[in-house]
Amino acid sequence: MPAKSKTKAYAQAGVDIDLGDRVKGDLKKSLRGASRPEVLGAVGGFGGLFDLSKSKYKEPVLVSSIDGVGTKLKLAFDSGQHKSVGMDIVNHCIDDISVIGAEPLFFLDYLGMDKLEPKVFKQLLSGMKDACSNANCALIGGETAQLPGFYQPGEYDIAGVIVGIVEKKRMLSGSTIRPGDVVIGLPSNGLHTNGYTLARKVVFEKVKLKGSDKVPGTRQSVFKALQEPHTNYAPLIQTLIKKFNTGRSSKFRKGNALFGIAHITGGGFCGNIPRILPESVDIEIDTSAWKPLPIFKLIEQAGRIEFDEMYEVFNMGMGMTLCVDASMAGAILKECHAHDCRAVVIGNAVKGSGKVCLMR
């Protein structure tokens, strides 16, 4: 009779190295679609390698960002659906560097969990791989840590780092925004990755809805509405910059039509748009220019949340704003629509002191 295999002491303590090796054994094959020609070597080494000498940029500037998904993770734990989390972490990071005009190059993730669950790991990896592939971004490496006793059973945390590149003369800062410019909003498909602590409290504790219940007035389940992945705006933004910013430098308005971009995350319009505004310019946002998604209406009415706080905590259906030349707004909108983005004009720039005013 063959001898019984003995469970290793480390596995008995809660960390199964052999399981980790098996789960991550086919990473090279799994991530084949999330790479770029500049990537050297294979995923799984001590460090990811990216050959910048192949870059087409004359004065390349590297742009980096790091972020997490916040308490949106709680929905994944409750629903058992984790792929959208993988997409969220990639797309949020990519959108943060896209506002500068950066093209995403490569992404790395950190995943810490109580116990490695192969099904969860594969869903997360699938989401990250798809998001990177859609953005022409390489998933170049990461770290998966088993930390028994640190996280609650079945729970985990995830963080991501993105590195992108932009031509120095093409970087967008918002410094050329002037009164008379127009603000275009790019729609979100939900809460993205902000406001979930408040949203969960209202929806599940106050209204006592279940994840399988429908959002009032829709056929969409609560879980589906709340777990819609963060929109990836990078391909559209890259297209707009190449087509409408042909001037010799983004420091000047001449030859350019797109002057500043703001990612509407935590802090909403009033907290994010001022980050790109000159001190002498205000932005007026016409909140009647679009209709927020039903999930926002549910949270606002059921939670009895004031107007100003809703627009401070949530993106309210607009995930990105573009400050553009008024004379080119129509052409930019047309280009957005051609790329299946239902962009609309939602405001304008006026003389002021670097603030945002929400108009009802």
Category of 18 on φ-ψ map: left (φ > 0), alpha (ψ -120 to 50) or beta: alpha
Range with lowest mean pLDDT among 28-32, 115-119, 323-327, 346-350: 28-32
Residues 6+ apart with CB under 8 A from 173: 100, 250, 260, 276
Check residue 145 and give its pLDDT: 93
Q: Homologous superfamily of 13-168 in CATH?
A: PurM-like, N-terminal domain (3.30.1330.10)
Domain 182-359 falls under CATH 3.40.640.10: no
- pTM for this predicted structure: 0.93
Smallest CA-to-CA distance from 247 within 352, 193, 187, 169 is with: 169
User: Amino acid identity, residue 106?
Assistant: F
Tokens describing residue 94: 């990519």
- Report residue 34's pLDDT band, with 50, 70 and 90 as the boundaries: confident
Check residue 194 and give its pLDDT: 96
Check residue 1 and give its pLDDT: 52
Instruction: Please report how many Cα atoms fall inside a 13 Å half-sphere around the Cα of residue 219, on the Cβ side.
Output: 0
**What is the arithmetic mean of pLDDT over 45-57?**
89
The DSSP H or E segment spanning 285 is strand 281-286
* Segment 161-211, tens digit of pLDDT: 999 999 999 999 999 999 999 999 999 999 999 999 999 999 999 999 999
CA 39 to CA 140: how far, in whole Å? 8
Judged against a pLDDT cut of 70, whether residue 24 lies above it is answered with no
- Report residue 15's pLDDT band, with 50, 70 and 90 as the boundaries: confident
Domains of the chain, by residue range, sit at 13-168, 182-359
Check residue 294 and give its pLDDT: 97
**What is the arithmetic mean of pLDDT over 105-131?**
95
Judged against a pLDDT cut of 70, whether residue 44 lies above it is answered with no
Judged against a pLDDT cut of 70, whether residue 322 lies above it is answered with yes
The two beta strands, 281-286 and 356-359, are: parallel
